[in-house]
Amino acid sequence: MTSRKWGGVAAERHLFEILTFNEVSEKFKNNFSEVEAVVAVGEPRDRETLYQKLKNAKIKIATLIDKTAKISPTAKIGEGTIINEFSTVHSQAVIAQNVLIDTFCKISHDIKIGSHSVISANVAFGGRINFGERVFVGMGAALKENISIGNDAVIGMGSVVLKSVENCVTVVGNPARVLTNSAQKVFKH
């Protein structure tokens, strides 16, 4: 199997190929019994769409955890989730399916992260934060313990979040302030 290069070391180590969904269909002629896949995109809503396509096609979903990541034995990690280099997941954390956690993240104790969410590199979370589904957290954000982050919320890179964030709201800055109240794409180009 030839691998296309990807920044994610986990993918290279596991000899995953990076393909579009159509390329997967063409290559395997809809015979997916030998195929294992994860979703390799960083836009939460696109992650959900692609995950559903994989499920509908009955493609086996992998879970990729880099060997340098430290995961508490009491944490739960859903299928399709990717955890990249040097991230730590502490006790009783519950990470749902198809979540992407990039490098050097601290996922503290008792945190819940909803499906299809994306946690960018160098993020630090205090304990007991409750994240909804399809949340995006930008690079280097820090979130205080015991808050809730709603479905489809976006936390801008470098934000310092001290209070809960409602569904579909984007916050930025230190201390974080509301930028928009309606759900938006993170990657616009």
Ligand X SMILES: CC(C)(COP(=O)(O)OP(=O)(O)OC[C@H]1O[C@@H](n2cnc3c(N)ncnc32)[C@H](O)[C@@H]1OP(=O)(O)O)[C@@H](O)C(=O)NCCC(=O)NCCS
User: Rule CB under 6 A: which residues touch ligand X?
Assistant: 42, 120, 138-139, 154, 156-159, 170, 172-173, 179, 186, 188
Nearer to ligand X, 94 or 124 (CB): 124
Assign 12 to helix, strand or coil: helix
Task: Provide, rounded to whole angstroms, the least separation between the CB of residue 171 and ligand X.
Answer: 8
Q: Which residues pair with 143 in a beta bridge?
A: 125, 161
Task: Provide, rounded to whole angstroms, the least separation between the CB of residue 26 and ligand X.
Answer: 28
Encoding tokens for residue 96? 């749902």
Nearer to ligand X, 74 or 178 (CB): 178
Closest CA to 82 of 45, 114, 39: 39
Q: What are phi and psi of 158, to 5 degrees?
A: 75, 5
- C-alpha 61/C-alpha 97 separation (Å) is 10
Nearer to ligand X, 61 or 157 (CB): 157
Task: Provide, rounded to whole angstroms, the least separation between the CB of residue 154 and ligand X.
Answer: 5
- C-alpha 112/C-alpha 127 separation (Å) is 10
Closest CA to 34 of 66, 1, 6: 1
Nearer to ligand X, 76 or 162 (CB): 162
Task: Provide, rounded to whole angstroms, the least separation between the CB of residue 69 and ligand X.
Answer: 17
Nearer to ligand X, 154 or 161 (CB): 154
Closest CA to 126 of 102, 109, 151: 109
- Give the other-Cβ count within 10 Å of 112's Cβ: 16
CA terminus-to-terminus distance, the chain: 31
Nearer to ligand X, 10 or 75 (CB): 10
Task: Provide, rounded to whole angstroms, the least separation between the CB of residue 99 and ligand X.
Answer: 14
Task: Provide, rounded to whole angstroms, the least separation between the CB of residue 123 and ligand X.
Answer: 9
